[in-house]
Amino acid sequence: MNFNSYTDGVVADTVALVNRLTEGESRGRPFAVPDVVAAGEAFLEDAGWGRRLTADQAAELAAVARELRAVFEAAAGGDLDAAAGRINRLLEESRARPRLERHDGQPWHVHFHGVGDTITAEWGASCATGLAVVLGGEFADRLGVCTAPHCDRVYVDTSRNGKRRFCSTACQNRVKTAAFRARAQTPQAPGA
C-alpha cells in the first residue's frame, strides 16, 4: 500500500515522531522520554534533518507528537470523526500550505509547510497533512496503536491485507510466545 512517495515518507516520520517523543509503554516496558531535546534531535537526524533544538523547540515538537498520538488513538478506536477533528485543528494551527519542492536530486514533489520558521510549523504541518491524506482516503483504518499488552506505540499498517495489530515483530512475537506458554501450561485431558 502506497499513498505517494512523499506522503509515505511523512507518515513514516510521523510514526517515528510519536513513538520517540511520547511517553507510555513500549514492548512490555514503561517508556519515558528522559531528555526531550536529545530525543527530538535524534528524530530529526533520522528524518534527514540534522538540526539542533532548543529546549522550547523540543517541547513544541513533543506537544505536536502528543497531538498526533491522539489522532492514532482515535483512529484505532474507530472514531474517525475525532481523528479528523484533531487533524483539522493541527492543519489550521500550523497553517499548512502546499509547495512544490525539488531537492537531493529528486524530481518535483509536493511538500506541506506551515507559515513561519518554527519546528512546529514545519513538522506539525507536514505530519498533519500526511495523516490527513491517510484519513481522507480509502486507508483510514490503517492507523493503529499496538495491541500487545504493555505497548502503546503507534504504526501505519502498510500490509497488503490490512490486518496488522502490532507496532513491531518484537511485540507480535512476545504475544505469540505468551500464548504458546499459556497453552503449554494448561493441563491436557487424558487421551487428548
Task: Kindly report, residue by residue over 7-49, the tens digit of the pLDDT.
Answer: 788 999 999 999 999 999 999 999 999 899 999 999 999 998 8
pLDDT at 5 over 70: no
Q: Which residue has the higher pLDDT, 187 or 10?
A: 10
Residue 168, exposed/middle/buried by CB under 10 A (0-12, 13-18, 19+)? middle
pTM of the predicted protein model? 0.86
Say which amino acid occupies 37: V
pLDDT at 4 over 70: no
Record the cell numbers describing residue 58, joined without a space: 523540543
pLDDT at 169 over 70: yes
Query: Can you give the pLDDT at residue 83?
Result: 97
Query: Can you give the pLDDT at residue 159?
Result: 87
CA nearest neighbour of 43 among 122, 96, 112: 122
Q: What is the CA radius of gyration of the chain?
A: 19
pLDDT at 2 over 60: no
What are the DSSP E strand ranges found in 102-189? 109-113, 143-145, 154-156
Start-to-end Cα distance in the chain: 44
d(CA 98, CA 114): 9
Task: Kindly report, residue by residue over 42-83, the tens digit of the pLDDT.
Answer: 999 999 888 899 999 999 999 999 999 999 999 999 999 999
Task: Kindly report, residue by residue over 117-154, the tens digit of the pLDDT.
Answer: 788 788 999 999 999 999 998 888 999 999 999 999 99
Read off the pLDDT of each residue in 165-169 and give the average, rounded to a whole number. 92
